Chain A
Amino acid sequence: MQYHLTTPVTPADLAPLHAGDTVLLSGVVYTARDAAHKRMMELLDAGEPLPFPLEGSAIYYVGPTPERPGQVIGSAGPTTSGRMDAYSPRLLDLGQSIMIGKGKRNQAVKDAVVKNGAVYLAALGGAGALMAASVKELEVICWEDLGCEAVRRLYVEDFPLTVILDTHGGDLYESGPVAYLSQR
C-alpha cells in the first residue's frame, strides 16, 4: 500500500501503516544526526526547550552536502540510524512520531515505536540526489557550528519512504528477507 502523509502527524495517521508499505511524506521535517541528538538530550536534562516542537514531528537523520548557488539543498540521503538508538526512545516518549533514516534499530527503539504509536521509515541509502529532489525549502534553525550536522527545517513534498518499523511490531528488515527466501 502507498500512503500520503502530511506532518505533523497523529497516531491515527500512522496506525494503518505496515512494514513494507510506502509513504509519500509532505510538510515540515527536521534534520538531526548524532551530535544534534546529543545536544537535545543535554537541553532536556537541563529542563530547557528543544529547538523545535516534538509533537507529531518527523526527524530525518541526514547530513547533506553543501548546496550550490541556486540549489535548495545538496545531496541528502539518510545516514545510519543505529547511531541514534541511544536517544530515540526518549524523543518518542516526548511526542516525536516519525524517524527517517536507514539501517537496523535496537530493541529499545522497536519497543518505543509500538508503545508510542510511532513509525520508523527508510529513505533510500546512497540515493542522496534523488532524495534532494523532494526538498523544496531549507532553513538552518540552530547549531550552525555543527556544519552538515546542524539542525535544519526542511519543507518536503512527496518524500519517498518505506515503512520499516510499524506500530504493530512489524520490521521489514526481518520480514522482507524472510518473505523473499520463502518464495524463492
Chain B
Amino acid sequence: MRTIPASQLTDAVAHLCIQANTQLPDDIVSALNQSRTTEPWPLAKETLSLLWNNLEVATQQSLPICQDTGMACVFVELGQEVYIDGNFEEAIHEGVRKGYGEGYLRKSIVGDPLRRVNTGDNTPAAITVRLVPGDGCQITVAPKGFGSENMSRLAMLKPADGVEGVKQFVLDTVQQAGSNPCPPIVLGIGIGGSFDKVAYLAKHALLRPIDVPNPDPYYAQLEQELLSAVNALGIGPQGFGGQTTCLGLSIEAAPTHVAGLPVAVNVSCHVTRRASCTL
C-alpha cells in the first residue's frame, strides 16, 4: 500500500488548474496552427490568425486564454494500492479553490442551479474517479466553459437508426450550435452504454488528444468521416463562414442494451483545455 497525503493532491490540482487555463495542449495548438495554413476562405483565415495571436498575448501577459476559465472537471485514475491520507474529495475541492484564487481565474460556479448564488471560489469541482490496478494516481484537470457546454446534446436513438442516425444527430447538433460554442470546435462523442454512461463517454472522449485516433479501426474511420462531414457545413471560425468548423473529433463507444442506441455529443471550443500529472 502506498500512502499519498491529501495535501499533495491539493497542490497538484491547484497547479493543473492554472496550467490548463494558460497553456493549451500540444495537439490543440498544432491543429489551430495547421488550420491557419489550410483554411482557404479569407475572413476565416484572418479570424484563425487572431485566435493564434490570442494564444501569444495570453502567454506574454500571463492572462487566461479565455475569460470563461470554466467548471473544473477533475478526472482521477486512482491505483487500488493507494491510500489517500486525508479527505480525498475535499483535497480536490481545496486544490480548485487554491488554483482559481492564486491564478486569478474566474469564479463561475453557483452553489445551486435554481437559487444561483456564486460560491466565490469556483468550487465544487466535478470529480470523476476510476479505480485502476497498481499504486499510481493520475490527475487530469479539464476546465470546461459553458458557451460550448450549453450546446451539447444527448439522444436515445433506436437501434434501427444505426450509424446514419448517429451521424445525423452529430451534424444537427453542430448546425444548431452554429456560432455559439466559439468555433472551431472540438467534439467528444459517446455512443452506447446507458443514459448516464453515454454522457460520460462523450466527456471522456474530449480528454483524448485529437491527433490520436480511436484504437478500433471501425471507429477511427467513423471519426474521419464525421470530421469531414462537420467541416463541410461551412460554419467556419466564429461562425463567420469557412472550412475550419471543427479541429478534431473523438468517439468512445461502449456496450449497450439490445433495445437502445444512446448517443451524446459534448461540444467543446477552440480553447479545449486539459492538463495532467501523475503522483
Task: Please give the residue numbers on chain A whose beta carbons come within 8 Å of chain B beta carbons, in ascending order.
Answer: 20, 62-68, 71, 74-77, 79-80, 82, 102-104, 122, 124-130, 132-133, 147-148, 160, 162, 172-173, 175-181, 184
Contacts and interface: CB of A to CB of B under 8 A. Distances in A.
B51 A126 contact: yes
Given A74-B106, A130-B50, A177-B236, A65 B67 contact: yes
B66 interface: yes
Nearest to A34: B116
A64 B67 contact: yes
B173 interface: no
B64 A75 contact: yes
Closest 10 CB pairs of A and B: A176-B241, A125-B182, A129-B58, A180-B241, A127-B54, A103-B180, A128-B67, A130-B54, A177-B234, A181-B234
A136 to B, nearest CB: 14
Nearest to A76: B67
Interface in B51-78: 51, 53-55, 57-58, 61-69
Interface of B: 41, 43-44, 47, 50-51, 53-55, 57-58, 61-69, 104-108, 118, 120, 145, 147, 150, 178-180, 182, 233-236, 238-243, 269-271
Contacts of A125: 147, 179, 182, 238, 269
A147 B61 CA distance: 22
A143 to B, nearest CB: 12
21 contacts: A63-B68, A65-B63, A65-B64, A65-B104, A66-B104, A67-B104, A68-B104, A75-B65, A77-B67, A80-B180, A102-B147, A103-B179, A124-B51, A125-B269, A126-B51, A128-B58, A128-B67, A129-B57, A147-B118, A176-B241, A180-B242
Contacts of A80: 147, 150, 180
Contacts, number: 159
Given A76-B67, A129-B64, A180 B234 contact: yes
Contact of B178 (A20, A104, A148): A104
B70 to A, nearest CB: 11
A127 B51 contact: yes
B143 to A, nearest CB: 12
A35 B260 CA distance: 40
Contact of B239 (A63, A130, A176): A176
Nearest to B235: A177
A116 to B, nearest CB: 22
B236 to A, nearest CB: 6
A173 B239 contact: yes
Contacts of B55: 129
B50 A124 contact: yes
Nearest to A182: B234
Nearest to A180: B241
Nearest to A66: B104
Contact of A82 (B105, B118, B180): B180
